């Protein structure tokens, strides 16, 4: 006797399968998601920190690349932010090798986990400053993609 739920499960498994193209897109999306959202008690206007830099909304919308922050300060948070961005870029390269069937999913997932952990520390440290709160949104995205990639590899 066949299980009537089985075709739906197979369709869901195919939908969530980690093809090289899906892996690359998912890893790239992690760079588009804000890595942290910082709110300020005095203005309420958020600052969005991405892998590539920051986006401020006060007094006007202003984007600043990560490299220009080093001209302003050399705090340890900036070095961690750059390290996390580097880990993410290496995970993009690792995922791209999947297009040639050369990816090691453990490397891709590991780099995403590392980027997420370092990003969480940066968001928390930025959030410890007076009148500022940091939410590590990007960590959730990085760890989610890492878990999906690793799980798809272990099940396959």
Instruction: Tell me the domains of the chain and their CATH numbers.
Output: 19-155 (1.20.140)
Nearest CA to 66 out of 49, 89, 88, 91 is that of 49
pTM of the model: 0.85
Residues 6+ apart with CB under 8 A from 74: none
106 and 147 in contact (C-beta within 8 Å)? no
Q: What percent of the chain lies above the pLDDT cut of 70? A: 89
Predicted pLDDT at 8: 53
HSE (CB half, 13 Å, CA atoms) of 119? 34
Predicted pLDDT at 35: 94
Number of Cβ within 10 Å of residue 127's Cβ equals 16
Predicted pLDDT at 42: 82
């Amino acid at each position: 006797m066949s299980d009537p739920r089985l075709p739906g499960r197979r369709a869901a498994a195919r939908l969530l399968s980690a093809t090289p193209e899906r892996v690359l897109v998912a890893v790239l999306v992690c760079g588009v998601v804000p890595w942290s959202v910082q709110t300020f008690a005095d203005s309420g206007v958020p600052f969005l920190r991405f892998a590539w830099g920051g986006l401020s909304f006060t007094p006007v919308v202003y984007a600043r690349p990560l490299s220009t922050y080093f001209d302003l300060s050399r705090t340890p948070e900036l070095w961690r932010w750059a390290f996390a961005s580097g880990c993410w870029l290496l995970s993009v390269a690792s995922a791209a090798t999947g297009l040639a069937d050369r990816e090691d999913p453990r490397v891709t997932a590991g780099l995403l986990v590392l980027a997420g952990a370092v990003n969480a520390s940066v968001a928390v440290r930025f959030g410890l400053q007076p009148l500022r709160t940091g939410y590590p949104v990007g960590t959730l995205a990085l760890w989610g993609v890492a878990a999906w990639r690793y799980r798809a590899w272990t099940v396959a």
